[in-house]
Amino acid sequence: MREKPLVLASILLCSQTAALADGVTEWDYSPIRVQPVFESSWQVAASDMAKTSGKSNPTDEPAAEYKTRWFTSNKVHQYLGIGSIALAGLTVIAPKPDEDDPEDGVHHALGEGAAVLGGLAVATGLGFHYEDLKLNRGFKDPDNLHALLATLGTIGFFAAVDEAPEGGHAGLGVVSGLAMLTAIKITW
């Protein structure tokens, strides 16, 4: 039963590595054309007149439409954090396991999933945003506070999963979920 979180973590880590490799491409400079804008002072004067008359330069091409990519390293980090919160919320409402096998059931699997996704979110956050952390600014810096709350929330998720069969883990899980939710809210 303990292999499932490791397999899930390995799969998500491999997809994260693919996201990192996705950004490594050759730059294509072919659309960039360098040409003199004005060859003489007559063209400068004509250009000034065109601006005042409201006509645009007929050689201007429309700007290319900007498309946001949905799968980047930062988005992987965000999706992992949001997924951790979603699984934690589902863990709260999932039916509790039977007394005879407390580690078998949807509640336990969702709790482990929330902990693993939280751990991967913290790992990707440290990997992709380490330059944003400035320890000399303390916890007044939103990036530092985000990292602290997310790390504490993830540690709390793992501790709640570890305590789960004996009981008394609900409060720890809820407080950890609130810490993760606050960490996400700080950056948005």
pLDDT for the residue 85? 95
Query: Which region among 28-37, 57-66, 113-122, 127-136 has the lowest average model confidence (pLDDT)?
Result: 28-37
For the cut 80, the answer to whether the pLDDT of residue 15 exceeds it is: no
Is the distance from CB of 150 to CB of 118 less than 8 angstroms?
yes
pLDDT digits (tens, 9 = 90+) for 44-101: 555 555 555 555 555 666 667 878 887 888 899 999 999 999 999 999 999 887 777 7
- pTM above the 0.75 mark? no
Mean pLDDT of the chain, nearest integer: 78
pLDDT for the residue 146? 93
Residue 121 CB-density burial (10 A; 0-12 exposed, 13-18 middle, 19+ buried): buried
Sorted by where each begins, the domain ranges of the chain are 72-187
Selection from 10-24, 61-75, 159-173 with the highest mean pLDDT? 159-173
Q: Using CA atoms, how far apart are residues 82 and 80, in angstroms rounded to an integer?
A: 6
